[in-house]
Homo-oligomer: A and B are copies of this chain.
Amino acid sequence: MDKLKEKILTEGKVLPGNILKVDMFLNHQVDYQLLKEAGLEFYNFFKDCGVNKILTIEASGIAVACAVADAFKVPFVFAKKGSHSNVGSNVYTSEVFSYTKGKSYTLTVSKDYINKDDRILIVDDFLANGEAVLGLKRIIDEAGGELCGVGIIIEKRFQNGYKKLVDAGIKLKSLAVIESMNDGNIVFG
């Protein structure tokens, strides 16, 4: 998606630790018109997969999920991080290790909102080590639903999430694939 790549190049900032700061348009301030275009890209890629639900993780996945859910005209569910008393006890949970933060956290989804009839597209803002996506996949598997694919706004191909997802047989569409960003120089794949 050329417009997205241009935005990353002109506005994004590479910080130490392979961090790409794009919080001016993606995950703090949000350019929703750009995400709408992203939603249509994912729709065109996955439209023949029978998707009936979008799944993401709070907080920065939610805006992506809105745009994709709108393109598919289906509801979305966002997994909550940590223990949430207001979700109740009838939940699926999945432990996810965050390499960025160096610790694990728990994903929680109410059993009311994922079930065996669901054909689910996972979406998120970033793909790095793939642990979050695999955590959501475990929840879908436990619920007996089907994972149709994964849609990512920005993929850091130089980390190992891509390989893990492909090895797990997951259909992946990333709108901007970053091959490397050494010395602050972003190279797309």
Contact = CB atoms under 8 A, between A and B. Distances in A.
A179 interface: no
Contact of A30 (B23, B24, B33, B69): B69
A77 interface: yes
B69 A32 contact: yes
B59 A78 contact: yes
Contacts of A63: 62-63, 65-66
In this complex, the interface size class of chain A, counting residues with CB under 8 Å from chain B, is: 20 to 34
B29 A76 contact: yes
Given A58-B58, A59-B59, A29 B67 contact: no
A50 interface: no
Contacts of A70: 32-33, 36
The CB with the most chain B CB atoms within 10 A, among A21, A25, A28, A31, is that of A28
Contacts of A110: 23, 28-29
Contacts of A48: none
A139 B36 CA distance: 28
A66 B26 CA distance: 12
Interface of A: 19, 21, 23-25, 28-33, 35-36, 58-59, 62-63, 65-67, 69-70, 73, 75-78, 80, 86-87, 109-110, 112-113
